[in-house]
Amino acid sequence: MKSLLIEALNGKDTDRPPIWFMRQAGRILPSYMKLKETYSFHELMNDRKLASKVTLLPIKDLEVDAAILFSDILVIPNALGLDLEFKKTGPIFNNPINELSKPSELIFNPNKLDYIYNNIEQVISDKDEDLPLIGFCGGPLTVFLFMFKGEGVKDFRKNAIKYLYSNREESVAILEKITISSIEYVKNQCKAGINVFQLFETYCGAIPYELYIDLIMPYSKRILNAAREFNCPTIFFPKDIGNGISMIDNQICDFVSVDWHTPIEHARKALNKKVGIQGNMDPRIFYQDYKEIEKYLDSLTNFGSQNKNWIFNLGHGFLPDIDHEKVKFVVNWIKENNWNR
């Protein structure tokens, strides 16, 4: 595969940073919103041809360097027996884990994930052979917290963290179930044909980073290493890990995706030199005019020229009301800028 993203992930020099965006499959694209007029999120995700179409929309509409599978991080708890429902207000579980008598006795049903592997195979059939496909799953802490999200629950994270602290033994058993299930899921994504794997630990900052490193990181490492068994490059997104980024080395992942709370230069200095870096544009910059957006991009030229192991991305996903024309402007700017490499 001749791909700028794959070359960067494998430590090769590139003329410019590769660019893709978290939440690029859907959300801000008019072509996606048109599909949403006819199909629900659940229907788009469960029909292989529709899922492939949504996955590949940003390639045509934004001209990014990679596709990321159109799916959701909550498929793992659903496969563990929690009844997932997508509502207009967001996903909820009709039987959240805190309502179960013995949460750690959840049983993993791998067959519930088969449709995702079919979707991957469909994307591979539909896409250009040199276009990399990114697979993913949710980080163990993030999935654990979401499993407490029931109907009408306003602050599920608060409830989940209280449970983590007060029911440590049971929490560890649940985290182990999440991890074992995620490992099988990742391996099957690799077998189906993904080229890159990203672990989304969106709620990493919900607990002190010392606790994350001590309690959760071993689970995250196991999930990431499952992809490495298939020589699949890995990206780890521990959002809001702060100074804990210095604890991440190349035994955990190939690249770290940095949130927008941390200046990219600071993150690069703190991060192990053997680990590449991804990020970290604040998506709210898209609310500014083109002149201000270009000013921000200009400020990255020096960093980009000195750091060839950098992938341009957001510090988190797109906000739903962002103008996709401004996103196209950023993609074109990254591609046309002189990076002095």
Place of tokens 């510090």: 315
Predicted pLDDT at 173: 95
Structural contact between residues 21 and 318, judged by C-beta atoms closer than 8 angstroms = yes
Predicted pLDDT at 116: 98
In a domain, 210, yes or no: yes
Structural contact between residues 58 and 64, judged by C-beta atoms closer than 8 angstroms = yes
At 136 the three-state DSSP class reads strand
φ and ψ of 198, to 5 deg: -120, 135
In a domain, 131, yes or no: yes
Structural contact between residues 44 and 35, judged by C-beta atoms closer than 8 angstroms = yes
Q: Alpha helices, DSSP H only, in the chain?
A: 4-9, 30-36, 41-46, 48-61, 75-79, 114-126, 140-146, 156-166, 168-192, 209-211, 217-228, 264-270, 290-298, 301-306, 324-336
What gap in Å lies between CA 210 and CA 218, rounded to an integer?
13
Structural contact between residues 199 and 139, judged by C-beta atoms closer than 8 angstroms = yes
| Confidence tier at 182 by pLDDT (50, 70, 90) | very high
Predicted pLDDT at 152: 80
| Start-to-end CA span in the chain (Å) | 22
Cα–Cα distances in Å, from 193 out to 85, 118, 198, 223, 230?
28, 10, 14, 17, 10
Predicted pLDDT at 102: 86
| Confidence tier at 27 by pLDDT (50, 70, 90) | confident
The CATH number of the domain holding residue 39 is: 3.20.20.210
In a domain, 341, yes or no: no
Tell me the per-residue pLDDT of 80-131, one tens digit each, with 9 for 90 and over.
999 999 887 788 999 999 988 888 889 999 999 999 999 999 999 999 999 9
Tell me which DSSP letter residue 234 carries: E
Q: Name every residue whose Cβ is closer than 8 Å to that of residue 248 and which is 6 or more positions away in sequence.
A: 236, 238, 241, 256, 271, 272, 275
Cα dihedral 214, 219, 222, 224 sign: negative
CB atoms under 10 Å from CB of 109, counted, come to 12
Scored b (16 or more CB within 10 A) or e, 220-256 reads bbbbbebbbeeebbbbbbbbbbbebbebbeeebbbbb
Q: What total number of domains does the chain contain?
A: 1
In a domain, 243, yes or no: yes
Tell me the per-residue pLDDT of 226-249, one tens digit each, with 9 for 90 and over.
999 999 999 999 999 999 999 999
Domain that holds residue 26: 4-336
45 HSE (CA, 13 A, CB side): 18
Structural contact between residues 64 and 313, judged by C-beta atoms closer than 8 angstroms = no
| Confidence tier at 154 by pLDDT (50, 70, 90) | confident
In a domain, 90, yes or no: yes
Per DSSP, what are the bridge partners of residue 236? Answer: 199, 256
What gap in Å lies between CA 218 and CA 105, rounded to an integer?
21
Q: 31: phi > 0 → left, psi -120 to 50 → alpha, else beta; which? A: alpha
Tell me the per-residue pLDDT of 249-277, one tens digit each, with 9 for 90 and over.
999 999 999 999 999 999 999 999 999 99
What gap in Å lies between CA 46 and CA 318, rounded to an integer?
23
